[in-house]
Structure 1
Amino acid sequence: MAEIFKEYLIKQKKSSKDVLMQTLIMGAAAVLIIIAFLLGGAFLGPVIILIVLFGAGTLFIKFNREYEYILTNNELDIDVIYNKSKRKRVTTIDMKKIEAMVSIKDTNNQGKIERFNKLINASDNNDGADTYAIISSQDNTLCKILITPNASFLNELYKQAPHKVIKKI
């Protein structure tokens, strides 16, 4: 049997919640900087300002996300990449053990993806027909993982679990 390796990278669009959180972070940082400037003194004020700026910058870049889907044989790894510089593994899915993978717009198969305990959104945030939900049990928790694969990546996923991956028509 041939080794399978396929990867796909997708940029996640900012949701309105993300924009609101970024605005709140900037507002809180501005307030803390003003307070540190007024009450911090000559030595402590600049130190607090630098800490606030560093913390706000660290939080702010968490909203610039890309997801990489990596299919190696029958394992799908999903990584998040923050600000094109920091990578973190989100989850690993054994495609042979998934319960279902269905387009979120497929009205005929919604029952297969409605029950879950945990949601992982690794999609592009468009919520279109190209967004698929994978139902998988991980650490005794039923997870719904949202992904947005392209056609060739979807075909490779289908080859790994043809009876569980339901492609859109």
Structure 2
Amino acid sequence: MSDLYSELLVKKERTAKDMLVKYGLIVLTALVAAAGLLITPILLIGAIALGIACYFIIPGTDLEFEYLFVNGELDIDKIMAKTKRKKVKNVKLQEADLMAPVNSHRMDYYNSNQKLKVLDFSSGNPEHKRYAIIVKDGADLCKVIIEPDEALANSMRNCAPSKVFLD
């Protein structure tokens, strides 16, 4: 028996907020460091603190998501600045309620549910075809948004044809 296997790497598009955070932190750190050198050395402590914040926050503005689908399980990893990898979600299609395009009529009930937790692991581009997977996250329902290519979507459809809709 052969395994159903598919993987895909999706780069999250940078938003204006990401750029503002990145360059705002860099400029603020440089200004505080300059003020620490020219005005009072106590501000150098603030510059060091801002530099440490930059180290942890800036990689989060350059994201990629890796989807790995093997035998009914979708593993989603977040890759930050092409250096740090973190596993963010594991979805078992057999335990999912539904997978369909985000704007599909099949999602109407879930899209109107305000209590639904939304996890977006897509590029963020509304022009790309994005799918939502409805799964249980503890006691609550969760909507996981992904952006699979045709091969990954077909692999998922072959694994759970009664739950995965590609319309």
Query: Structure 1 length as normaliser, TM-score?
Result: 0.85
Q: Hey, what's the Cα distance between the residues in 2 that align with 1:89 and 1:6?
A: 17
Say if 1:134 and 1:146, in contact at 8 Å, map to a contact too: yes
User: Following TM superposition, by how much is the alpha carbon of 1:69 offset from its aligned partner in structure 2, in angstroms?
Assistant: 0.3
User: Following TM superposition, by how much is the alpha carbon of 1:82 offset from its aligned partner in structure 2, in angstroms?
Assistant: 0.4
In the alignment, structure 2 segments of 5+ residues that lack a partner are none
Q: Hey, what does 2:50 align to over in structure 1?
A: 52
Q: Hey, what's the Cα distance between the residues in 2 that align with 1:102 and 1:113?
A: 11
In the alignment, structure 1 segments of 5+ residues that lack a partner are none
Q: Hey, what does 2:4 align to over in structure 1?
A: 4
Matches within 5 A, 1:36-115: 36-37=36-37, 38-40=39-41, 45=44, 49-106=47-104, 108-114=105-111, 115=113
**AA matched with 2:107:** Q
**AA matched with 1:91:** K
Task: Give RMSD over aligned pairs.
Answer: 2.2
Q: Hey, what's the Cα distance between the residues in 2 that align with 1:81 and 1:105?
A: 27
Q: Report the CA distance shift for 1:121/1:52 in structure 2 as closer, same or farther (over 3 A).
A: same
User: Following TM superposition, by how much is the alpha carbon of 1:6 offset from its aligned partner in structure 2, in angstroms?
Assistant: 1.6
Say if 1:40 and 1:48, in contact at 8 Å, map to a contact too: no
User: Following TM superposition, by how much is the alpha carbon of 1:35 offset from its aligned partner in structure 2, in angstroms?
Assistant: 4.2
Deviates more, 1:138-147 or 1:63-72: 138-147
Say if 2:30 and 2:47, in contact at 8 Å, map to a contact too: no
4+ runs deviating over 6 angstroms:
none
Say if 1:121 and 1:147, in contact at 8 Å, map to a contact too: yes
Say if 1:74 and 1:160, in contact at 8 Å, map to a contact too: yes
Amino-acid identity (%): 26
Query: Structure 2 length as normaliser, TM-score?
Result: 0.85
